[in-house]
Structure 1
Amino acid sequence: MGRRRGCLLSSCVAGVLLLVSCQATPPRTEGRLRIVATTSIVADLARQLGGDAVEVTALMGPGIDPHLYRASEGDVARMQRADLVLYNGLHLEGKMTEVFARMRELGRPTLAVAECIPDSLLLRASGYGGVYDPHVWMDVRRWRYAAICVAETLARMDTARASFYQKRLARYLEELAATDAYVRQQSALLQPEQRVLVTSHDAFRYFGEAYGWEVHGLLGVSTATEAGTADVQQLADFVVARRIPAIFVESSVPERYLRALQEAVRARGFSVHLAGPLYSDALGDPGTSADTYVGMIRTNIDTIVQALQRKGTS
C-alpha cells in the first residue's frame, strides 16, 4: 500500500537528495517552523503542540499503512526543505530507513518520537529479531513521552516561542490524562474474561498491557508479513473456544484477512461479527471522530466495547 509514484528508494534517493540539496530553501511561512511528519498520528502530535507556530505536512494520509510505505521523490524533497522531520521510528516506517539516514547526513534535524520512550517501557516484537514493537501510541501514558520530547525539541529550535510550546504541552498532557482515564473507564464496562481483542495485525499489544486486555493479531507486528492457513485456523479455533462475539478490521489493513478468519469460524459452526474499523497505524478521515490522536483512541475503545457487549451465536 502507500504511494508508488516516483522512483524506487534504493535506486534514486541519492539523486533526489542531490537535486533538492542544491535548491534554495524558501522562506518560512509567517515565521512558522516547517515540519514534515511521516504518519498522520505523528503529524497530529506536531499540530497539537505547535499550534499556529508550525506548518505541518503529513506524508501519509488516513488509511495509509506505514509498514509498506515507500517515499516518493516529492516526499524526499519536502523533507529536505523542512526545518524538522518527525517520524515514529522503531522500524515502523521500515522502507524509509535509508531516507532518514541520508537526511541526518545532510544535517536535516530529525526526531524519532517513539524512541523518546524509555527502553524499559518498550515491548519486544516476537519473531522480528528482538526489535521493539513500534505501536507505542496505543498506550496513552507511553505516548506522553513522545509529546514531551516533541515540545522540548520545538522549544529548543524556536526559543522565542519556548513558553508557548510549554503551555501547549501542559494542556495537551491534561487532555491525554483524561483520555487515558476514559479508556480505563470504558474497559471496566466489560468483565475481564470479555476483554479479548482480535484484530487484523498485532498493533494493540501496548493497549492490552496498559488497559488489561488479551490481544491477538492475525498478522504480525508488521503488515509486510502474510497470514498462513495455519495462522487462520489456529485463531479460528481460539475464537470459537472462547465464544468471542466480534473481531476487528483496521482502517489501514485490507479486510480480506479478517474475512478469511470469519469464514473459518463459520465453518466451525459459530458466528463472529466483523466489527470496526479500528484505527491502528493511521487516523481517520478529516471531519470524523477519529481525525486526531485523542479522537482515534476514544473512537477505538467505544467501537471495541460496543461490539464485544453483543453475543456470538452458534
Structure 2
Amino acid sequence: MQKRQLLAIALGATAALALAGCSSGASGDDGRIRVVASTNVYGDIATTIAGDAVDVTSLMKDPAQDPHSFEASAQSQLAVSKADILIENGGGYDDFMDTLRTGAKNDAATVLNVVDISGKKPVDGELNEHVWYDVPTIGRLTDALVTALSKADPAQKATFEKNAAAFTTGLDALEKREAELKAKYAGEGVAITEPVPLYLLDAIGLDNRTPEKFSEAIESGNDVSPVVLQETLRLFTDRQVRLLAYNEQTSGAETTRVLAAAKQADIPVVPVTETLPSGKDYLSWMNANLDAVAGALAK
C-alpha cells in the first residue's frame, strides 16, 4: 500500500512558548508514568496494561474526525516533551510523532514503533501500515509495553505482567474467532474502500477483489480514473463480493458512489474506523468488527 502523507503539523510560536521551562522525559510528580500515543487505539492498550500507573495522552481520538486532516497542536508537543514512553504506529502513518519528539528535544523517552515491532516489511515497495488490525502485532506490542513499563516502574512489574496476561487471553480469543470464520468463509470475495481492515480480512481468509488502483488512489487522496471506478462498481452490480468494508472516517465522491452501489445491490456494508469508537476498548472494538464481518458473510 502506498504510504500516506496524511497529517499536517501546526505548532508555530505557540509551541515554543508552551515548552518554555518544561523538562523532558520525566515521570509526573505523583510518580505515574507518562505515555503519549499517536492514537487512542494504542492509548487504550497502554491503559489496559498499566492501569493506574500511567497518565495516557492520545493525540488522535475523535471518532468523527478524518485522520487525514489531523493537526498536532502546541499541547501535543508539550505532552510529548514530558513523556516517558511514546507509542507511534510508524510505517509513514504518523510521522508527526517523530517531528514532535525532535521539536520537544525529548531523547529520554522510550519509543515503541508498532510497525517495527510487527516485523512486517514492504511487499513490492508497499506496506499496509494499519497494523492495529493485526492481532499478532498487538500481542508483540503488549510484550514491548510490559518491558518498557517495567523499566520505567520496576516496582509494578508484576501488575503489568498480570494485566498483560489477561489482555493476551482476549487477543487469543480474537484469533480463535478469526480461525473459526476462516474455516467457514475462506476464499469469499470482499471489497474495501481503503486497506485499513485488510489484516483482519486476510486473517479470515477473505479475498480482497478491489482493484488495487482504486484503494491506492483513495488512500493517497488522488482521483480514481473512470475505468478503475467502473471496474470497482461492477464488483457490486455483478455480485462478485459478499461485503464492502467501508472506512467511515474518510469519504469522497468515489467512495460515496461505491457505498451507494453496494447498498443498491444489497451487499452488506461493514463500517470500519482508524481510531477507537466511543465507548469501546480494543478488545470490544475488534470483537464488534468480527461480529459485523460474520453477520455480513452469513447473509
Change in 2 beyond 3 A, CA 1:251/1:222 = same
The structure showing larger relative contact order (alpha-carbon pairs under 8 Å, at least 6 residues apart) is 2
How many angstroms apart in 2 are the aligned matches of 1:17 and 1:258?
Answer: 40
Distance in 1 (CA, whole Å) between partners of 2:73 and 2:248 is 22
Q: Is the alpha carbon distance of 1:100 and 1:235 closer, same or farther for their aligned partners in structure 2, counting shifts above 3 Å?
A: farther
Alignment match of 2:158 (pick from 158, 163, 166): 163
Residue of structure 1 equivalent to 2:84: 83
Secondary structure of 1:277 counterpart: strand
Mark the CA change 1:246 to 1:74 in structure 2 (over 3 Å): closer, same or farther: same
Where does residue 143 of structure 1 map in the other structure? Answer: 138
Residue type matched to 2:129 in 1?
Answer: P
Deviation of 1:16 after TM superposition, in Å, equals: 2.1
- In structure 1, the residue matched to 2:288 is 299
- Choose which of 178, 189, 210 in structure 1 pairs with 2:203: 210
C-alpha contact 1:244 1:308 (8 A) present in aligned 2: no
Q: Which whole-Å CA distance do the structure 2 matches of 1:253 and 1:274 have between them?
A: 19
Residue 28 to residue 265, structure 1, CA distance change in 2 (3 Å):
closer
TM-score, normalization: structure 1?
0.78
| Cα distance in structure 1, aligned partners of 2:46 and 2:31 | 16
Q: Cα offset for 1:77?
A: 1.2
Q: 2:245 aligns with which of 235, 248, 253?
A: 248
Contact 1:114 1:146 in 2 (8 A): no
Mapped contact 2:41–2:282 kept (Cα < 8 A): yes
Q: Over residues 248-295 of structure 1, what are the superposed CA-to-partner deviations in whole Å (9 max), with x where a residue is unaligned?
A: 3223222754321245578xxx7143623223x111112xxxx11111
Decide whether the 8 Å contact of 2:217 with 2:223 is kept in 1: no
- Two-structure CA RMSD over aligned residues (Å): 3.1
Q: Deviations over 1:173-196 (max 9, x none)?
A: 122111111222234443x343x3
CA change 1:255–1:277 in 2 (3 A) is farther
1:145/1:208 CA distance change after superposition, 3 Å = same
Contact 2:33-2:53 at 8 Å conserved across structures: yes
Which residue in 1 is equivalent to 2:116?
Answer: 115
* AA matched with 1:294: L
Task: Name the CA shift for 1:140/1:222 in 2 (closer, same or farther; >3 Å).
Answer: farther
- CA distance in structure 2 between the partners assigned to 1:95 and 1:35 by the alignment: 16
Instruction: Report how far residue 137 of structure 1 moved.
Output: 2.0
Of 230-239 and 144-153, deviating more is 230-239
Task: Show the counterpart of 2:22.
Answer: 23
3-state SS, counterpart of residue 249 of structure 2: coil
Tell me the distance in 2 between the aligned counterparts of 1:200 and 1:29.
Answer: 46
| Contact in 2 for aligned 1:67/1:222 (Cα 8 Å) | no
> Compared with structure 1, are the counterparts of its residues 248 and 256 closer, same or farther at alpha carbon in structure 2 (3 Å cutoff)?
farther
Q: Take 1:158 and 1:209, find their aligned partners in 2: how far apart are those partners?
A: 38
List per-residue Cα deviations over 1:53-92 (Å, max 9, x = no partner): 1111211114244444221111111211222221111111
CA contact (8 A) 1:140 1:176 kept: yes
Aligned equivalents of 2:97, 2:220: Cα separation in 1: 14
Following the alignment from structure 1 to structure 2, what is the Cα–Cα distance between the partners of residues 186 and 294?
Answer: 17
TM-score (norm 2): 0.82
Q: Distance in 2 between matches of 1:29 and 1:222?
A: 45
Confirm or deny: 8 A CA contact 1:197 1:213 kept in the other structure: yes
Asked if structure 1 preserves the Cα contact closer than 8 Å seen for 2:178 and 2:203, the reply is no
Distance in 1 of aligned mates of 2:197 and 2:11: 34
**Alignment check: 8 A CA contact 2:85 2:109 kept:** yes
Distance 1:139 1:307 in 2: 20
Q: What SS does the corresponding residue of 1:226 show, helix, strand or coil?
A: coil
Contact 2:27 2:82 in 1 (8 A): no
Please point out which of 157, 173, 177 is paired with 2:172. Answer: 177
Q: 1:33 to 1:11 in 2, by over 3 A?
A: closer
Gaps of 5+ in 1: none
Against the structure 1 CA distance between its residues 223 and 182, is the aligned structure 2 distance closer, same or farther, given a 3 Å change threshold? Answer: same
Structure 2 residue runs without a partner (length 5+): 1-6
Alignment of 1:42-57 (within 5 A): 42-57=42-57
